[in-house]
Structure 1
């Protein structure tokens, strides 16, 4: 896990600015040359170094998610060029001039968060933020950040660049959103006219757009992939809740197999699973906890009385005898998702019972209009 922010200075004035930033930025570490030592460095998150700053940059790139360099832009570009790898892994890099007039987003503006860090640093110093990313300047959809604040996951970055170009070049773009949070448009102006929003594939004519943003928990058909992803990006919103009941001691392998197999049967993406829900008697079940840990899912648990408040189509006296609840997977899924019905009421497979509920959201068209 990378540390949040490193602040680096190599001049007397830069050091003064770095120390100001340290007072205002959470979880920041400061690095500057030892000849500018103030004497308090040992008691603060400040590291002194000797020699060229270029020697410590590779290590900072590995260790930090954001790097603020109080160094000239040209020098920074030359120093970081040999150590750049990929926009999905490179840290955010922000440059501040020696007098603190400008904070400039240099690298990983979107995925790395440099644009936001630039604005934050500028606010701390009273500087002017300089952001040149086209989607930010034009106040339009940032394809590589779309839905990120909600936890949406991009299925593949293969078409992110051409789709981004279509958005900023005002080509015909369709957003097909079948599920997930609809309030992703946060600018104080209408959605650009070249971007059309629909909530189903039936509303989007494949010949009516140049690029597509597809938001769904559903596994697409081969035809849908051909029509919408040839120049499109697929996003997975976190909208599925798995209600799970299992016998004591059920292995994580069996639980995982049932989950994966069932999701495939239901044509649902595992990347759209938000969390797992069960009875509180299972909150320490090793197999269930292991699966949740593997996939990064949280585990919601409910008391029998809470589960019994949910009306079930087929309450089970047997389950009640052992747990005090007339059902586990079905009511747990609905309670956690806040849903009124199931995508899958209940499926029994070996030692595992699974239900699937979808987190309800208003239609994106309702929100946009």
Structure 2
């Protein structure tokens, strides 16, 4: 099974350092052919190797000069939301430089981990870390919040760097901001954010926000789906999306999808979950029957042996005792939403 981190070594000394490093952290090691060993995979062209592996790993460690690493990764960089972490380590193991995706990709954290394991000095250059203030992108990552617009991060972090307190609308308390927080303060009306330099909205609802307000979406909703046999993926996605739109729910806040196990081979459901990037969970009729729904269906009981599929699946995944968005139906598909207890 492939690890999440790739290490590249170009010299004999670098290969030796890499062999020490992989005894400390789980990583796949790639070493220039003349220095390779049974612990590593050999390569002859670093450019070709990086081209093949860059998107396959969550993090990359180059034991090489920074310039080499920059030239290797430059053609493959997309944006801070998508790029993997990149750390550069000199072959003496003295410095671990966080080069790309310091916050969202975790390069700063990885550089510090390398420092802890082999004594290298972590080199962190992100402005908020240097200034000792929190970065909103890192806070979002730590609290499992989806960033709605990556381009707005700079406005929030700039305000924090200027010493300004940033207003936050967070009705469910996902950021856990206290009254004594010196960097953020809470507002109880989302409209207030539009009158300020910038702000943060933490909500599962779709909001009409000012252009300086950063939306963060908590992954706190469970999606239950039912369908007849052979329904195509387009019909399933159509109902899901119309259900979200009509109820003002952000798709980014859906954390999982579930149905009855009798549909475990239903290709439309499997494809829909994959397109939405959701884990698809299957429950037995007995498991779903344990969930008490407001209006069980006699028709569903007749065909599936349980009074509810979509509502019961949503509530079970969310560990909820009530439904957020009740069953919505098309000709052959049903969908419902529950909020994490």
- Structure 1-normalised TM-score? 0.79
Structure 1 residue 298 corresponds to structure 2 residue 279: yes
The partner residue of 2:121 within 110, 128, 131 is 128
Q: Which residue of 2 aligns with 1:93?
A: 86
2:203 pairs, out of 216, 231, 234, with 216
Q: Is the CA contact 1:241–1:274 (under 8 Å) kept in the aligned structure 2?
A: yes
Secondary structure in 1 aligned to 2:23?
A: helix
3-state DSSP of counterpart to 1:327? coil
Tell me the alpha carbon deviations over residues 96-118 of structure 1, each in whole angstroms, 9 at most, x when there is no partner: 23432222212321233211221
CA deviations 1:208-239 (Å, max 9, x no partner) are x4221212111113xxx13xxx2122122212
Secondary structure of residue in 1 paired with 2:151 = coil
Q: Give SS of 1:135's match.
A: helix
- Larger radius of gyration between Structure 1 and Structure 2: 1
Compared CA separation, residues 199 and 137, structure 1 to 2 (3 A): farther
Q: Which runs of 5+ in 2 are unaligned?
A: none
- Greater relative contact order (Cα 8 A, min sep 6): structure 1 or 2? 1
- Cα 1:264–1:97 change in 2 (3 A) is same
What are the residue-to-residue correspondences of 1:256-275 with 2, within 5 Å?
A: 256-275=237-256
Number of the residue aligned with 1:309? 290
Matched, 1:145 2:138: yes
TM-score (norm 2): 0.85
Taking the aligned partners of 2:97 and 2:26, their CA distance within structure 1 comes to: 20
The residue aligned with 2:111 is 118
Residue 68 of structure 1 pairs with residue 57 of structure 2 = no
Rate the CA distance shift 1:345–1:93 in 2: closer, same or farther, 3 A. Answer: closer
Q: Paired residue for 1:324?
A: 305
Do the aligned partners of residues 8 and 292 (structure 1) sit closer, same or farther apart at CA in structure 2, a change above 3 Å counting? Answer: closer
For 1:1-369, what aligned pairs fall within 5 Å after superposition?
Answer: 4-32=4-32, 34=34, 37=35, 41=37, 43-47=38-42, 49=44, 61=54, 64-73=57-66, 75-76=67-68, 79=71, 83=75, 85-88=77-80, 89-179=82-172, 181-183=174-176, 192-198=181-187, 200-201=189-190, 204=192, 206-207=194-195, 209-221=196-208, 225-226=209-210, 230-360=211-341
Contact 1:87 1:111 survives alignment (8 Å) = no
CA distance in 2, matches of 1:25, 1:16: 15
Q: 1:364 is matched with which residue?
A: none
Deviation of the 1:78 alpha carbon: 6.8
1:182 Cα deviation from its structure 2 partner: 4.2
- Gap regions ≥5 residues in structure 1: 361-369
Offset of residue 19 of structure 1: 2.1
Q: Aligned pair in 2 of structure 1 residues 347, 31: CA closer, same or farther (>3 Å)?
A: same
Change (3 A) 1:340 1:114: same
After superposition, the CA RMSD in angstroms is: 3.1
Other structure's SS at 2:234 match: helix
